[in-house]
């Protein structure tokens, strides 16, 4: 890679690279840039899909930054053990409080501002768009990825860690949930999506699910694009899209529909 490819952003030179792991920034930080710190037993799982497409380009350009902390480094003894059997018996293993404590202290050292500490957990608050909007406005986030039967409860209590869930199912680890959270958050950071997409008209932004989308060809396997979308009449297109958003939300998500109607009624 030649120096002519380097980009200066006034904070630190960014070296373009096609290798996802090289997109991850090492400390020292890019000052004022949203940062995700991930505590995981599998640091090579990152940036994973976050290194692709728009999030990958934004990472490369220093619009956000990613740092992994390898839990194994804080393991106990010659074998760097990170887990032990559950107190009281039962199946599986639990991530040790002393190991996690050292890793968290390391990760949070020097962290300032609004930078929540989150444990990805099926017991947590379900992720939603409002949560992602709040996180995108923060200075960054530290994410603890569990494995095995999870983490020692005392760690959650001691650090006041928020638990956040990807949904009502159980995965083998928190890494996929962490990537989902980061993806949904980073795309809300200014300039990350560029001109490619608008976050203002998509599902959840107005409290409704999105209307159907179509593109060429105008007819496919006997199915035509709705005439109104081909009419060129912007007012009618907007009305049709709004009506479809309402219909889809009402049919698929009565919970969202009730909340939407409730907030619309309270404005009347
Ligand atoms: C096998 S799970 C542990 C499940 C735990 N014993 C329970 O029943 O709640 C291992 C790890 O995967 C992660 N995980 C699993 N399902 C998740 C979900 N729905 N959302 C977020 N993280 C999840 C958590 O970090 C968890 O510590």
Top CATH class, 8-186: alpha beta
Q: Whose CA is nearest to atom 5 of ligand 1?
A: 149
- The residue to mutate among 39, 83, 93, 121, having the most atoms of ligand 1 within 8 angstroms of its beta carbon, is 121
Beta-bridge mates of residue 68: 38
Q: Which residues pair with 81 in a beta bridge?
A: 76
Distance 172 CA to ligand 1 centre (A): 6
* Residue 200 pLDDT exceeds 50: yes
Domain boundaries, the chain: 8-186, 219-267
For residue 14, report the distance from its CA to the centre of ligand 1, in Å. 35
Q: Is pLDDT of 212 > 60? A: yes
pLDDT digits (tens, 9 = 90+) for 97-151: 999 999 999 999 999 999 999 999 999 999 999 999 999 999 999 999 999 999 9
Q: Are 192 and 58 in contact (CB under 8 A)?
A: yes
CA 177 – ligand 1 centroid, Å: 9
pLDDT of residue 193: 92
* pLDDT confidence of residue 25: 64
Cα 112 from Cα 267, distance rounded (Å):
38
Residue 145: closest CA among 19, 22, 46: 46
pTM above 0.75, yes or no: yes
The closest residue, in CA terms, to atom 18 on ligand 1 is 122
**What's the chain look like in SS3?**
CCHHHCEECCCCEECCCCCHHHHCCCCCCCCCCCEEEEEECCHHHCCHHHHCHHHHHHHHCCCCEEEEEEHHHHCECCCCECEECCCCCCCCCEECHHHHHHHHHHHHCCCCCCCCEEEEEEEEEECCHHHHHHHHHCCEEEEEECCCCCECHHHHHHHCCEEEECCCCCCCCCHHHHHHHHHHHHCCCCCCCCCCCCCCCCCCCCCCCCCCCCCCCCEECCEECCHHHHCCCHHHHHHHHHHHHHHHHHHHCHHHHHHHHHHHHHHC
Reported as a single tens digit per residue, the pLDDT across 219-265 is 999 999 999 999 999 999 999 999 999 999 999 999 999 999 998 88
As to burial, measured by CB atoms within 10 angstroms (0-12 exposed, 13-18 middle, 19+ buried), residue 22 is middle
Lining ligand 1 with CB less than 6 A are: 120-123, 145-147, 149-150, 165-167, 169-174, 177
Residue 208 corresponds to which tokens in the numbers above?
């409704």
Q: How far is the CA of 112 from the centre of ligand 1 (A)?
A: 28
Residue 13 pLDDT level (bands cut at 50, 70, 90): very low
Tens-digit pLDDT profile for residues 50-97: 999 999 999 999 999 999 999 999 999 999 999 999 999 999 999 999
Question: Is pLDDT larger for residue 196 or for residue 99?
Answer: 99
pLDDT above 90: residue 1: no
* Atom of ligand 1 at shortest range from CA of 168: 19
Identify the band that residue 27 occupies on the pLDDT scale cut at 50, 70 and 90: low
């Amino acid at each position: 890679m030649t120096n002519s490819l380097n980009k200066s952003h006034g904070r630190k030179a960014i070296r373009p690279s096609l290798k996802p792991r090289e997109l991850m920034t090492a400390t020292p930080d890019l000052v004022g840039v949203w940062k995700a710190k991930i505590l995981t037993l599998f640091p090579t799982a990152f940036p994973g899909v976050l290194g692709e497409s728009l999030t990958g380009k934004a990472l490369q350009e220093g619009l956000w930054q990613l740092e992994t902390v390898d839990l194994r480094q804080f393991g106990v003894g010659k074998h760097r053990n990170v887990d032990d059997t559950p107190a009281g018996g039962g199946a599986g293993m639990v991530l040790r409080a002393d190991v996690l404590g050292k890793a968290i202290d390391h990760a949070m050292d020097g962290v300032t501002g609004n930078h929540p500490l989150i444990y990805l957990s099926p017991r947590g608050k379900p992720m939603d768009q409002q949560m992602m909007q709040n996180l995108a406005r923060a200075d960054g986030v530290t994410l603890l990825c569990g494995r095995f039967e999870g983490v020692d409860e005392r760690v959650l209590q001691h650090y006041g860690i928020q638990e956040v869930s990807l949904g009502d199912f159980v995965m083998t680890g928190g890494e996929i949930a962490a990537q989902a959270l980061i993806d949904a958050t980073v795309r809300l950071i200014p300039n990350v999506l560029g001109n490619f997409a608008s976050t203002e008209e998509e599902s959840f932004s107005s409290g409704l699910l999105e209307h159907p989308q179509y593109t060429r060809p105008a007819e496919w396997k006997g199915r035509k694009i709705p005439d109104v979308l081909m009419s060129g009449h912007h007012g009618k297109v907007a009305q049709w899209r709004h009506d479809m958003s309402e219909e889809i939300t009402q049919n698929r998500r009565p919970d969202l529909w009730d909340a939407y109607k409730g907030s619309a009624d309270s404005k009347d």
